[in-house]
Amino acid sequence: MKLKNLSLSLALAVVSVGVALGAKADTVPAHCDLYAPREDYPSLSSVCTFSQRQGYITINLQSNGVSYELSPVPNAAPGNFRDQHGKAVYRQSGLGSAGTIFEFVDGSHLWVYWDESTFSTTPATQGIGSDPVTQGIGGSSARIGTLVAHSRGSQINLRSQPTVRSRALGYGLAGDQVQIYLCQPDTDTPGSDLNWCNVQFVVSGANGWIRSDFIIFPSDGF
């Protein structure tokens, strides 16, 4: 995960947190993605709660029961915290008004989303913006593709938006079939020849985005 371009949150993170908490009190339901050091995909995605009181932050993860108690560092720049074990934690910008990012000393990151728009699972069958690269993948009707994993048993994340920086809505496994609605270029890496495709799982009906290297398209064969 490349975070070199993410600055420590100053006014932006403080304002965005303040807007969310001001509108929804000091504890809000959220979604958390935990990234291991140097990983592009979260090792854990969980419903969570985010609380902030007088500068002190509490994050509770539902899936594993882990809590993070963050205390502001006195006389330090905004965004500097200590966790319940006394280790440094840094708050970063990068999610805009959708949430905030916390970096830990081991290089792992916790992405917290509280903007309700990131929880949308409405099928995007009409494209994103006004210039989708492919509408219906060669036609106006969806086609059926099959998921493929890079390693045996790997989970293939279903994203809320066409980027690895968006929230994971769930995951699929190799062999799962999906309806493919549209695809657009991957913008995560300059020069990437991959696409992100809006798909809907045939069995569960879950809708979101999966990168094209995890999809066997009908024309690719099996």
Which pTM value belongs to this model? 0.49
Question: Which pLDDT score, from 0 to 100, does residue 142 have?
Answer: 56
Contact assessment for residue 31 and residue 118, using Cβ atoms and an 8 Å cutoff: yes
Go through the domains of the chain in sequence order and give each one's CATH number.
11-118 (2.40.128), 120-220 (2.30.30.40)
Question: Which pLDDT score, from 0 to 100, does residue 20 have?
Answer: 42
DSSP, collapsed to helix, strand or coil, labels residue 17 as helix
- Quote the DSSP letter at residue 34: E
The Cα–Cα gap between 44 and 207 comes to: 20
Question: Which pLDDT score, from 0 to 100, does residue 208 have?
Answer: 92
Contact assessment for residue 137 and residue 131, using Cβ atoms and an 8 Å cutoff: no
Q: Which residues contact 176 (CB under 8 A, 6 or more apart)?
A: 146, 147, 156, 201, 202, 203
Residue 192's Cβ-side half-sphere holds a number of Cα atoms within 13 Å equal to 14
The Cα–Cα gap between 219 and 138 comes to: 11
DSSP, collapsed to helix, strand or coil, labels residue 119 as helix
What's the average pLDDT block by block, 10 residues per block, for the chain (222 residues)? 37 40 62 83 79 92 89 92 95 80 93 59 33 36 79 85 90 90 86 89 90 81 41
Q: Which residues contact 122 (CB under 8 A, 6 or more apart)?
A: 207
- Side chain identity at residue 87, one-letter code: K
Beta strand 99-104 pairing with 109-113? antiparallel
Question: Which pLDDT score, from 0 to 100, does residue 110 have?
Answer: 93
Burial class of residue 219, CB neighbours in 10 A (0-12, 13-18, 19+): exposed
DSSP, collapsed to helix, strand or coil, labels residue 94 as coil
Q: Which residues contact 84 (CB under 8 A, 6 or more apart)?
A: 67, 68, 69
